[in-house]
Amino acid sequence: MKVLVPVKRVVDYNVKVRVAADGSGVETQGVKMSMNPFDEIAVEEAVRLREKGAAKEVVVVTVGAQAAQDVLRTAMAMGADRAILVRTDDTLEPRAVANVLKAIATREEAGLICMGKQAIDDDMNATGQILAAKLGWPQGTFASAVTVADGRIEVAREIDGGTEVVSLTLPAVVTADLRLNEPRYASLPNIMKARKKPLETVEIDSLGVDTASRLTVVSVAEPAERKEGVKVNSAAELVEKLKTEAKVI
Amino acid sequence: MTALVLVEVENGAVRQASRSAVAAASRFGAVDAIVFGDGAQAAAALPGVTRVLSVPGLVNDLAEPAADLLAARAKDYSHIVAAASATGKNILPRLAGLLDVQPIPDVVEIKDADTFVRPIYAGNALATVRSADSIKVLTIRGSNFDPVAAEGGSAAVETVEAPASEKSVFVKVELSASDRPELESARVVISGGKGLKDAANFKLLEPIADKLNAAIGASRAAVDSGFAPNEMQVGQTGKIVAPELYIAVGLSGAIQHLAGMKDSRVIVAINTDPEAPIFKVADYGIVGDLFEVLPTLEKAL
């Protein structure tokens, strides 16, 4: 079975983003970029499936500019076998990304797509589900554990009150939640090795898929700031203020 | 224009987040509700709902048959809406995929029938987006819309056959048993972080939660350290809460945690580090050792 792992290059999770002065988006110039943390978990899970013998090959794919190559190299340093960069300078919505990924998954004859549940830039939490729908595959979203056996995949899912387990036919789409695993660090020898692994570039137009945007960003603004409050000296004083000043208890 | 709202019913009652979704959808015009499994009567009692599509055969919220069913009904609606809950986030984007529309998740404000505000970058920015799709697929942040009442309406109920699910089978569900209010609808939330040092110390929050009828939450660091189960996580990657009172105990206030609670009306922080970012958003702060502060707080309440 071939596992396809879509990854995204995003503003690093430690960066405090700033809204651009013209309200068109957030500042990304000179900002540290990394692989989306949920996607790292997805790469790790795919590599573990191969190490366990449940998968034969792990292929990572990203949709983005030339610079997005660095997250593909990171994924290969973690153990992915090869990579595909679908090159575009446009920012694509999840629907458009799903169209691209469907084309790649079909070409690669992927048996499983394992991806992060959400990108930490647009926080959409949608691409995996849209892709599953477009492929006509079942989906196991917000996965905290997966087991592949007898042509099916069992997925433990994080739900509001606890955990749910579903069993899906393969091929399927799984989206990774935080507790699925702890991604490994890429060792220096593996980083060196990853430089020699194959990285194919595909021009997005050559796929012939609809990548138009359906949403127009009218504006991007800073959220209202909370005012810093006061320090109190004791629990008794706190309770007093909550009763008389905030009137909340 | 008519909106269709996926209404979640739990133990015979409509979840508060779904009542908020109904309130939000009412802005677009008439509202129909769809209920999977039992619970159509609870949805029919919601004020503002004119018709309930009851799907008793679809008991486990499986995304595949649920999205198929919604897609088959979609042409009658201008907006298809759900709470931004685990269920809503599982099913609605799949529906959007079937309809070939771009979903709009986590809506915090409705500007007009086509224009919505949603947080991006863990709530560090708010994007206003206009949709060109003829059917809008939205999930609603419950904390930003006052819920409709649980009773007062009397909608007609129409039973709908559930489509088969061949590719996806429900195996089991494990819900954590708790007598406490739900995190997302509790009036008071008390959350613990890594400062509690281990899982056993999380129990220190319980007597205070009992006195305030509060839900108990946890930071991602506390969940990652195994102090608390994931369903207690508050933050960008967990639950989004906006209670009247939020008490943060022994947690620093990482960006991703703040994203899940900074819309609370009153925030209290208890932390040994006076520079902890949580104090920047707290209305009241106590700099001190939580193991000393918690017992005195319990007594003072």
Q: How many DSSP H helices and E strands does chain B contain?
A: 9, 18
Phi and psi at residue B290, in whole multiples of 5°?
-60, -30
pTM comes to 0.93
Confidence at residue B60, expressed as pLDDT on a 0 to 100 scale: 86
Residue B274: CA count within 13 A, CB half-sphere? 5
Confidence at residue A224, expressed as pLDDT on a 0 to 100 scale: 87
Residue numbers in A near B123 (CB within 8 A): 223
Distance from CA of B223 to the nearest CA of A (A): 9
Contact B90 A123 (CB under 8 A): no
Which residue range forms the structural domain that includes residue A216? 2-223
Task: Give residue limits of the domains in chain B.
Answer: 2-159, 188-300
B75 near A CB under 8 A: no
Nearest partner of A35 among A79, A64, A68, A76, judged by Cα: A68
Residue numbers in A near B124 (CB within 8 A): 16-17, 26, 222-223
Question: What's the topology of domain B2-159?
Answer: Rossmann fold (3.40.50)
Would you say residue A244 lies in a domain?
Answer: no
Is residue B80's pLDDT more than 90?
yes
Average pLDDT of the residues in A83-112? 98
Q: Convert the pLDDT of each residue in B154-206 to its tens digit.
A: 999 999 999 988 899 999 999 887 789 989 889 999 999 999 999 999 999 99
Instruction: Give the CA radius of gyration of chain B.
Output: 20
3-state helix, strand, coil split of chain A in percent (to 5) is 30, 30, 35
Confidence at residue B114, expressed as pLDDT on a 0 to 100 scale: 98
Of the partner residues B97, B100, B244, the one whose CB lies closest to the CB of residue A248: B244
Average pLDDT of the residues in A100-115? 98
Residue numbers in B near A249 (CB within 8 A): 188, 212, 245, 301
Distance from CA of A7 to the nearest CA of B (A): 17
Q: Convert the pLDDT of each residue in B114-149 to its tens digit.
A: 999 999 998 889 999 999 999 999 999 988 999 999
Residue numbers in A near B300 (CB within 8 A): 235-236, 238-239
- Write down the ipTM of this complex: 0.95
Q: Which of B9, B124, B189 to mutate to test the interface with A (most CBs of A within 10 A)?
A: B124
Q: Which of A36, A167, A248 to mutate to test the interface with B (most CBs of B within 10 A)?
A: A248
Domains in chain A, number? 1
Is residue A158's pLDDT more than 80?
yes
Cα–Cα distance for residue pair B294/B296, rounded to 1 Å: 5
Distance from CA of B104 to the nearest CA of A (A): 8
Is residue B209's pLDDT more than 80?
yes
Of the partner residues B63, B126, B274, the one whose CB lies closest to the CB of residue A223: B126
Nearest partner of B196 among B228, B235, B229, judged by Cα: B228
Contact B130 A172 (CB under 8 A): no
Element (H, E) at A77: helix A69-78
CATH assignment at residue A111: 3.40.50.620
Beta carbons within 8 Å of B286's beta carbon, 6+ residues apart: A231, A232, A233, A234, A235, A238, B268, B269, B270, B271, B293
Would you say residue A94 lies in a domain?
Answer: yes
Q: Which residue has the tokens 């005195």?
A: B296
Average pLDDT of the residues in B50-63? 95
Would you say residue A245 lies in a domain?
Answer: no
Would you say residue A131 lies in a domain?
Answer: yes
The 3-class secondary structure across B195-240, one letter per residue, is HHCCCHHHHHHHHHHHHHCCEEEECHHHHHCCCCCHHHEECCCCEC
Tell me, yes or no, if the two domains B2-159 and B188-300 fold the same way.
Answer: yes
Nearest partner of B222 among B209, B205, B245, judged by Cα: B205
B299 near A CB under 8 A: yes
B177 near A CB under 8 A: no
**Position A145: which residue type?**
A
Please give the residue that has the higher pLDDT: either A173 or B143: A173
Confidence at residue A178, expressed as pLDDT on a 0 to 100 scale: 87
Cα–Cα distance for residue pair B125/B255, rounded to 1 Å: 12
Average pLDDT of the residues in B12-27? 96
B100 near A CB under 8 A: yes
Percentage, residues of chain A above pLDDT 70? 100
- Band of residue B22 on the pLDDT scale cut at 50, 70, 90: very high
Q: Convert the pLDDT of each residue in B57-74 to its tens digit.
A: 998 889 999 999 999 999
Nearest partner of A42 among A118, A151, A94, judged by Cα: A118
Counting one residue from chain A and one from chain B, the pairs whose CB atoms sit within 8 A come to 254
Scan residues 5-44 of B and list those with Cβ closer than 8 Å to A: none
Q: Convert the pLDDT of each residue in A202-249 to its tens digit.
A: 999 999 999 999 999 999 999 988 888 999 999 999 999 999 999 998
Would you say residue A230 lies in a domain?
Answer: no
Cα–Cα distance for residue pair B10/B61, rounded to 1 Å: 12
Would you say residue A184 lies in a domain?
Answer: yes
Contact B90 A165 (CB under 8 A): no
Confidence at residue B116, expressed as pLDDT on a 0 to 100 scale: 98
Distance from CA of B119 to the nearest CA of A (A): 8
B185 near A CB under 8 A: no
- Band of residue B104 on the pLDDT scale cut at 50, 70, 90: very high
Confidence at residue A35, expressed as pLDDT on a 0 to 100 scale: 97
Contact B212 A249 (CB under 8 A): yes
Contact A11 B121 (CB under 8 A): yes
Confidence at residue B203, expressed as pLDDT on a 0 to 100 scale: 95
Q: Convert the pLDDT of each residue in A5-61 to its tens digit.
A: 999 999 998 888 999 999 999 998 899 999 999 999 999 999 999 999 999 999 999
How high does pLDDT run on average in chain A? Answer: 96
Output the CATH code of domain B188-300.
3.40.50.1220
Would you say residue A242 lies in a domain?
Answer: no
Confidence at residue A14, expressed as pLDDT on a 0 to 100 scale: 84
Beta carbons within 8 Å of A240's beta carbon, 6+ residues apart: none
Q: Convert the pLDDT of each residue in B228-287 to its tens digit.
A: 998 899 998 889 899 999 999 999 999 889 999 998 999 999 999 999 999 999 999 999
Confidence at residue A113, expressed as pLDDT on a 0 to 100 scale: 98
